[in-house]
Amino acid sequence: MVRQLFRLNEIVEKKELAPRIKEIKVYNPRIAAKARAGQFVIVKVGEEGERIPLTIADWDREKGLITIVFQEVGVSTYKLGRLGVGDVITDVVGPLGNPSEIEKFGTVVCVGGGVGIAAIYPMAKELKKAGNRVISIIGARNKDLLIYEEEMRRVSDELRITTDDGSKGRKGFVSDELRDLLNSGLKVDRVIAVGPAIMMKTCADVTRPFNVKTIVSLNSLMLCGMGMCGACRVEVGGKTRFVCVDGPDFDAHQVNFDVLIKRLNAYKAEEQLALKRFLEVKA
């Protein structure tokens, strides 16, 4: 039996999807049994490591595996990226957050940017299973950073690709493609966007004049993941909400993205310094 071969939280598969973007499959039967689209885990590498939230990109209930995709941007993700097959992640807690709303809406546009493509993938897959027509728009800075293209193609009725430099698909942003799609007159019943905060803000600005319900999965700073510390607070509809227990999905037209972006940048200097020191020590 495969369940007897691995230790809890052991990495059983690993591959590089793009430069500094990695996919790992982790053995955790309890999380795999309950995971649903839109949920995430809190991961800690090392006893003194920080807790970082990572979206569950996929799961295999039979094998007890969850799939996590992450980009190496800080000390903790670099530490995670240096683990290999057979290594055990110190802590993996989940599934956390509320599952995405999945039902038959009609025509749904799923927009993914950067690593957010891996996060939108399970949503698109489940929406397709629910009988929706799924049109997906995915984008990255260039073709080398584009991930999950074939995975998204399999779960979409139509797939559109953009790159900032035009090296693949349309030259421009996912929001440009979204705007053209809405301007075409196609009846769109819902838009879901996952990616960098500025990308999600732009998508919300694009859909607002069309009065299309738009959902975003927020990527705020997070510590406990259980609604106790308040680190993941965001402003939605003029009220404070906690991403970990109230989200991560919210009505994009109600989110104060300016506050979110400001909070995401609050510790940039310290994060860059910590990474510089980490890489110097490991060099």
Rounded-to-integer distance, Cα 73 and Cα 275, Å:
8
Tokens at residue 263, please?
């909070």
Tokens at residue 212, please?
């299309």
Is 210 one of the annotated binding-site residues?
Answer: no
Rounded-to-integer distance, Cα 44 and Cα 223, Å:
11
- Beta carbons of 97 and 38 less than 8 angstroms apart: yes
**What DSSP state is assigned to residue 255?**
B
Q: Write down the number of H helices and E strands in the chain.
A: 9, 15
**What DSSP state is assigned to residue 6?**
S
The beta-carbon contacts of 266-271 under 8 Å, at least 24 apart in sequence, are 266/221, 267/221, 271/74, 271/75
Is 203 one of the annotated binding-site residues?
Answer: no
Hunting for tokens 């965001």 — which residue is that?
234
Is 105 one of the annotated binding-site residues?
Answer: no
Residues 82-98: b if buried by 16+ CB within 10 A, e if exposed: ebeeeeebeebbbbbbe
Rounded-to-integer distance, Cα 226 and Cα 152, Å:
31
Is 110 one of the annotated binding-site residues?
Answer: no
Chain Cα centroid distance, residue 230: 21
Is 224 one of the annotated binding-site residues?
Answer: yes
Binding-site residues from annotation = 69-71, 224, 229, 232, 244
Binding-site residues from annotation for [2Fe-2S] cluster = 224, 229, 232, 244
Binding-site residues from annotation for FAD = 69-71
